[in-house]
Amino acid sequence: MLVISLSFCAGAARAGAIVLGATEYPPYMSPRLPGGGLAVAIVSEAFQRAGLQTKIVYLPWSRAMSEAGSGQLDGIIGLWETAERKQRFLFSKPFLDNHIGLFKRSGDAIRYQRLSDLKPYTIGTVRGYANPEAFEQARLKTDETLSDASNLAKLAARHIDLALIDHGVANYLLRGNLAALAEKLEWLPPAVVTYPMRLGIARNQAEGEKRIQAFNRGLDAMQRDGTLEKMLKPLGI
């Protein structure tokens, strides 16, 4: 698989395309979705506005990060900015927000102002996910499951009181495979944390700064003519 990935990247580079890593994270990124997912579609459109073509390689997230950081890929889509990552990557302007928060059963009278208010409740999380730092520090009672879909199903079945999930991911599931649960579940504001999603390009790339500037120009054009707002509308956030 590594040889295939490297050969693909080399061929795309010779063709003049920018090769970007992405991962399976619908509705934001997925080869099964139109345009490769919302985040991929936005990034591809922004680069096209700047006169540049893109090639997308879908990989497990850790591998996409590694290959983007080493220069095997030209960049990575969907990167959240952290102090550690800023040492290795140049970051674009944000193009959408990931709202990480809680879903509850419709009609349940759960409200909160501080995370500590949620200590009486059992909150479903997904095994392997990096939960928000504030959420971890609150030391709430949690119950792990294997996927966002099973987390929402457990919530509807009253096995847990709340589910920690990205708002856009939840809406995608509740409009798709879990549509039967849509009227039973609802978002509980406010979001626990909001992460602006960005494009990341390794600092050691000779064309990195130029590519970030080109992307930002394309994104600005999409904002001015309303394209970005139109693309984000289906998220329902």
Q: pLDDT tens digits, residue range 55-107? A: 999 999 989 999 999 999 999 999 999 888 999 999 999 999 999 999 999 99
Q: Tens digits of per-residue pLDDT, 172-217?
A: 999 999 999 999 999 999 999 999 999 999 999 989 999 999 999 9
Predicted confidence at residue 190, as pLDDT, reads 96
Predicted confidence at residue 237, as pLDDT, reads 65
Distance between CA atoms of residues 127 and 154, nearest Å = 14
Q: Count the neighbouring beta carbons within 10 Å of the beta carbon of residue 154.
A: 16
pLDDT band at 1 (very low <50, low <70, confident <90, very high): very low
Higher-confidence residue of 212 and 130: namely: 212
Q: Report which of 102, 86, 229 is spatially closest to residue 166, judged by C-alpha positions.
A: 102
Higher-confidence residue of 114 and 15: namely: 114
pLDDT band at 148 (very low <50, low <70, confident <90, very high): very high
Distance between CA atoms of residues 137 and 135, nearest Å = 5
Q: Is the confidence at residue 14, as pLDDT, over 50?
A: no
Tell me the CATH number for domain 2-96+196-235. Answer: 3.40.190.10
User: Which letter does DSSP use for residue 147 in this model?
Assistant: -
Q: Is the confidence at residue 116, as pLDDT, over 60?
A: yes
Angstrom distances, CA of residue 36 to CA of 25, 57, 149, 225, 231: 10, 10, 20, 22, 13
Q: Yes or no: is domain 98-194 CATH 3.60.20.10?
A: no
pTM over 0.75? The answer is: yes
Higher-confidence residue of 200 and 16: namely: 200
Q: Is the confidence at residue 124, as pLDDT, over 90?
A: yes
pLDDT band at 3 (very low <50, low <70, confident <90, very high): very low
Mean predicted confidence (pLDDT) in 214-229? 97
Q: SS3 of 170, please? A: helix
Where do the CATH 3.40.190.10 domains begin and end in the chain? 2-96+196-235, 98-194
Average pLDDT, rounded, for the chain:
91
pLDDT band at 16 (very low <50, low <70, confident <90, very high): confident
Q: Is the confidence at residue 36, as pLDDT, over 90?
A: yes
CB 218 within 8 A of CB 48: yes
